[in-house]
Structure 1
């Protein structure tokens, strides 16, 4: 029976692409490097801030650590400007809250993650795990398994919901069933290559999927 539902954040429940692109370009501009487009940013997202900036600087010899010193504080103070929950997400969460254990596992660093969850999803999630010092990032299964443990659940009772190959690999590494969403940062073909258990095109489909899974187990 599915009793626990854990989501990725960026590209899955929150459309953050414009704020993230703006934060990257602000950082690049401080070093007189060329801007990236939001399409490029989407392709770089999923593996955390260091990977994002390393890809965004392209062939520049500037150290990623120097970019991070600008990017992190700027992003923290500019991550609630254009970001919004995807259409249908709040209705979905209102349906799920109180019926299932809910969590978030993201590669966004913990402080920024806490800020946006408090702003957009306050009171909905029981566990929120982001990128932390000395903790493996997705696709390592550790953060997802930790969330499951903190929710007093098991891998067999859990669905993980994400929008990139990083999320799908994380779930597979944790032996957790995974749902890919098509409204995020990767194309349908990219998602299909990872062979998720399920693919959905709009949030309301998740509710029916969970009911179907639980009906099969009853």
Structure 2
């Protein structure tokens, strides 16, 4: 399948550009230990990542995807996690294969490229810089840049408006159903990778326009 060639490509961070689970899992487990509870391990935490750190902390406390812990329980755990993650944002994380090649292709074609994530800017910018790709983006929209996060279309439309590109000329690249929903609501084309954080559900079920095994395959999709 070929897509309309966009003028702006927005790319999700966690699970699309960067495998950040090793750092997140370390912080979850150290938080649990600090609370006097058993750690979960990286494999379990991998199934919880994808909806921001607040929800990740809730999942660690409840061992469910969407149940909320008691307020006092969350209030005790949250600052512990935030301190740990501020100190351990990128040391164990890594770029997925094909990321640099894919971004460099887009830039070489004269396209504008942005990163749109639900991760707070305090973590987003250091992570992108540590991975050596921060300077490649024309815009970075973090989870606290706009009043609403994905799956709301606001962050995507904010990026498009800031760069002066109409929605029909934009493409979202992500790994989760929230990326697909946000793109659809914004009027973007949407492509997904199958290796990210979608809680064990095949991303094809969300109905993206295409699924590619790595960002390096964008050059074949957009020709």
Tell whether the structures are fold-level matches, with TM greater than 0.5: yes
| 2:36 paired residue number | 32
* Partner residue, 1:104: 115
1:174 aligns with 2:174: no
Q: Which moved more, 1:19-28 or 1:55-64?
A: 55-64
Aligned residue among 112, 122, 145 for 2:157: 145
Separation (CA, whole Å) in 2 of partners of 1:7 and 1:133: 16
Q: C-alpha deviations, 1:4-61, integer Å up to 9, x for none? A: 1100001101111111111111112111122223232222222111111111111664
2:134 to 93, 104, 122: 122
39-48 or 110-119: which moved more?
39-48
Equivalent of 1:184, from 196, 199, 218?
A: 196
Residues 135-185 of structure 1, C-alpha deviation per residue, up to 9 Å, x if partnerless? 112111111111111121111111101111121111122121111101212
Task: Specify the alignment match of 2:169 in structure 1.
Answer: 157
Kept in 2: contact 1:140–1:173 (CA 8 A)? yes
Greater CA drift, 2-11 or 74-83: 74-83
C-alpha deviation, 1:187, in angstroms:
7.3
RMSD of equivalent CA atoms? 1.9
Q: Contact 2:50–2:198 at 8 Å: present in 1 too?
A: no
TM-score (norm 1): 0.89
8 Å CA contact retained: 1:47, 1:137: no
Question: Does 2:210 match 1:198?
Answer: yes
Unaligned 5+ runs, structure 2 = 64-68
SS in 2 for 1:144: helix
- In the alignment, the residues of structure 1 paired with residue 23 and residue 57 of structure 2 have an alpha-carbon distance, to the nearest angstrom, of 14
Which stretches in structure 1 are left out of the alignment for 5+ residues?
212-218
Q: For each residue in 1:82-122, what CA deviation from the matched residue of structure 2 results, as whole angstroms up to 9, or x when unmatched? A: 11111111122222225210101101111100111122213
Contact 2:146–2:155 (CA under 8 A) maintained in structure 1: no
Pick from 86, 93, 97 the counterpart of residue 76 of structure 1: 86
Deviation at 1:134, TM superposition (A): 6.9
**Count, aligned residues:** 211
Q: Displacement, 1:188?
A: 8.1
TM-score, normalization by structure 2: 0.87
Runs of 4+ residues over 6 Å off in structure 1: none
Whether the aligned pair in 2 keeps the contact of 1:42 and 1:186 (CA below 8 Å) is no
Q: Structure 1 residues 116 and 67 mapped into 2: Cα distance closer, same or farther (>3 Å)?
A: same
Partner of 2:46: 42
2:18 is equivalent to residue 14 of structure 1: yes
